[in-house]
A and B are shown apart, each in its own frame.
Chain A
Amino acid sequence: KAGVTQTPRYLIKTRGQQVTLSCSPISGHRSVSWYQQTPGQGLQFLFEYFSETQRNKGNFPGRFSGRQFSNSRSEMNVSTLELGDSALYLCASTKGQGANTGELFFGEGSRLTVL
């Protein structure tokens, strides 16, 4: 069973640009969550999608957006990049409903550097 796949793994952008990150969840998982990881801040919740609907959103500015497609794949977009957006962006999938332990399955992340 393939794991969670995130692309690209590494990217470098300059301030003011925008970026789109992609996440393919484990087959059968309908929930996709996105997190931003920075040193000292840990994992900050960005948003969660289930069946193409955003069910929750973290405390991030409107420059951060996301969406989910009918095949459960998800993308997140950051516009007008700032230096502080440099981070590891992690995607995680889970079944999203029914009896389960809530275990999240993480991808390896997309490391964004903003210059």
Chain B
Amino acid sequence: GEDVEQSLFLSVREGDSSVINCTYTDSSSTYLYWYKQEPGAGLQLLTYIFSNMDMKQDQRLTVLLNKKDKHLSLRIADTQTGDSAIYFCAEWDTGGFKTIFGAGTRLFVKA
């Protein structure tokens, strides 16, 4: 079945890099996403990667995709206190008209 798994918590010091990992099961996914949720708000798309790519870089964000292992990661360079939030990994099931989300990783950034 479809499932997206990610660790629930990550704590880093300000200025360090954060790496959030995710595994997914649906090998037919065309797009994989990272969404960010700040307190009291809905989710907002942070970045996405097409399934035929291995890596995507967008300013401080680097997404790595290992299709063989069905592993997705998000690296945030120079993590700031404003990056404290919940980060959701997600995959798009185009045939099912739905996006499947992981449970979310809560990132704590210590000053």
Which of these binds chain A: B12-20, B67-75, B92-100? Answer: B92-100
- Residue of A whose beta carbon sits closest to that of B32: A102
Q: How many positions in chain A have a CB within 8 Å of any CB in the partner chain?
A: 25
Assess the B31–A101 pair: CB atoms within 8 A.
yes
| Range class of the B interface residue count | 20 to 34
Assess the B97–A42 pair: CB atoms within 8 A.
no
Which of B35, B42, B48, B103 is within 8 Å of A101, CB to CB? Answer: B48
Assess the A55–B97 pair: CB atoms within 8 A.
yes
Assess the A56–B88 pair: CB atoms within 8 A.
no
If A90-B42, A104-B45 touch, whether A45 touches B31 (CB-CB below 8 Å) is no
Assess the A4–B98 pair: CB atoms within 8 A.
no
Is the contact region of chain B dominated by helix, strand, or loop, or is it mixed? strand
Assess the B92–A45 pair: CB atoms within 8 A.
no
Q: Is B8 an interface residue (CB 8 A)?
A: yes
- Residue of A whose beta carbon sits closest to that of B91: A102
> For residue B111, which residues in chain A have a CB less than 8 angstroms away from its CB?
none
Q: Is A108 an interface residue (CB 8 A)?
A: yes
Considering the chains assembled together, what is the distance between the CA atoms of A102 and B95 in angstroms?
12
Give the interface of B toward A (CB within 8 A).
8, 30-31, 33, 35, 40-45, 48, 88, 92, 94, 96-104
Give the interface of A toward B (CB within 8 A).
4, 31, 33, 35, 40-43, 45, 48, 50, 55-56, 58, 90, 92, 96, 101-104, 106-109
